[in-house]
Chains A and B, each alone.
Chain A
Amino acid sequence: MKSTGDAVSRLLYKTGLPLAFCAALILTLPACSGGPEEIWQPEALVEETPVEAMHFNESVSSGKLTLTASQKVVARETPIERLTLLYTDSHIEFDWESFGFTFFAILGGIVSVGLYFVVAYVLYDPNKDDKNK
C-alpha cells in the first residue's frame, strides 16, 4: 500500500508542477497568439465639384474690409466603412516594482485568510455569549 501511495504522490508531483507551469504561461501571456482584429468603421466619402465661380460677401467696418469667400458645389456623399486593424501585443515585463506589488498582494491575501481562521477558530469563543446570559 505504501509503495502505491508513494507512486501516486510522485506522479502527482511530477505532473502537477508542469501543469502549473503551463497555467502560469497561459495567465501571463494571454494574447500572444492570434492575428489582428478587423473592425469596420463608418465614414462618409464626400466628393465636391464646384459649379460656380467663387463669390465674396463684403462688409466694411472700422477701416477694415471683411470678405467671406463661398462657392456653390455639387456634393456627392457615399456612406462607406473603412477596414481598421486592431493589434494587441502582450509580453512579460519584469520589474521589481510589479514583482514586489504582486508578491505583497499575495502575501496580504494569505495573511488575511490566515487571520480569518485565527479569529474564527482560535480567538473567538462561541460559548462566550452563552456565558454572559
Chain B
Amino acid sequence: MTRTSSLLLILLLAGCTTRTWTETTETTRPVGPTTESVKTMPVADEFVQLRTDTEKDSFTVREDFTTNADGKLEIELLTPALQCLMYGHDITMQLWSYTQEKVIYSRNLNEADAVDVVREWSVQARLGTEVPLRGRVAKILDELIEKTEDKAVRDQLDAIRTKVRIRLEWE
C-alpha cells in the first residue's frame, strides 16, 4: 500500500504536458460557385536580362534583374549612356526573358538621352552618391573623359569619376 500511495502521490504532483500541432492535408471541398474575372496583375519574379548592342571590341551590357512583388525593376542607365557616347551611335536596350526565352521589352537610347543621363548622374555624384560601375565601364569612362571635347559634359563625367566604386563580379 505504501508503494501504491507513493505512485499516486507522484502522479498527482508530476503534472502532464500537452503538445498540439496541425497538419494540412490535400483534401478539399468546394463551398461556392467559381467566379471568373479579367484582371491586370503585376508580373512578379520575372527573371530577365538587360542586353545592349555588342560593339566591335566585344563590349556589351549583360545584367540580370528580377521583378519584385509589384512587378517593378529599376535599371541604371549610366552604362548604356556611356556606351552610347563612347561608340557614337544609338543603343538598343532589350530585356530578354529567361522564362519565355524571347525579348519582351526594347528601348532606344540616343545621344541626347545619354547626355541627359550623364548630367543627372553627375548631379547625384556631386551630392555624394556612389556610382557603382564594372571595371570595363570605368575604363570607358576614363577614355571618354579624355576624348570628350564638350567641356560641360567632360566636367560632368569628371564628377562621376570621383564617385566611382568598382562593382565586384558577383554584384
- Interface on A for B, CB 8 Å cutoff? 17-18, 20-21, 24-25, 27-31, 36, 39-40, 42, 45, 48, 51, 53-54, 56, 58, 60, 62-94, 98-99, 102-103, 106
Contacts and interface: CB of A to CB of B under 8 A. Distances in A.
Interface in B15-32: 15-25, 27-32
Nearest to A24: B11
Contacts of B72: 66-69
26 contacts: A28-B11, A39-B22, A42-B31, A54-B97, A62-B124, A63-B117, A63-B118, A63-B121, A65-B74, A66-B73, A66-B75, A67-B75, A70-B40, A71-B41, A73-B38, A73-B39, A74-B37, A77-B37, A80-B28, A81-B28, A83-B27, A91-B16, A92-B17, A93-B14, A99-B14, A102-B14
B107 interface: yes
Contacts of B25: 82-85
Most buried by B among A69, A89, A90: A69
A64 B75 contact: yes
Contacts of B15: 28, 92-93, 98, 102
Chain B interface category by residue count: 35 or more
B18 A78 contact: no
Most buried by A among B32, B95, B118: B32
A66 B7 CA distance: 74
B22 A21 contact: no
Interface string B93-105: 1010100000011
B58 interface: no
A98 B36 contact: no
Given A21-B4, A24-B11, A93-B16, A67 B105 contact: yes
Contact of A40 (B21, B29, B36, B41): B29
Contacts of A79: 30-32
Contact of A76 (B17, B36, B77): B36
B42 interface: yes
B37 A84 contact: no
Contact of A86 (B22, B75, B117): B22
A82 B18 contact: no
Contacts of B23: 36, 84-85, 87
Contacts of A17: 1, 4-5, 8
A82 B28 contact: yes
A90 B124 contact: no
Nearest to B14: A94
Given A75-B36, A79-B31, 6 more contacts: A20-B8, A21-B4, A30-B16, A70-B43, A76-B34, A83-B25
B71 interface: yes
Given A21-B4, A45-B28, A78-B30, A66 B74 contact: yes
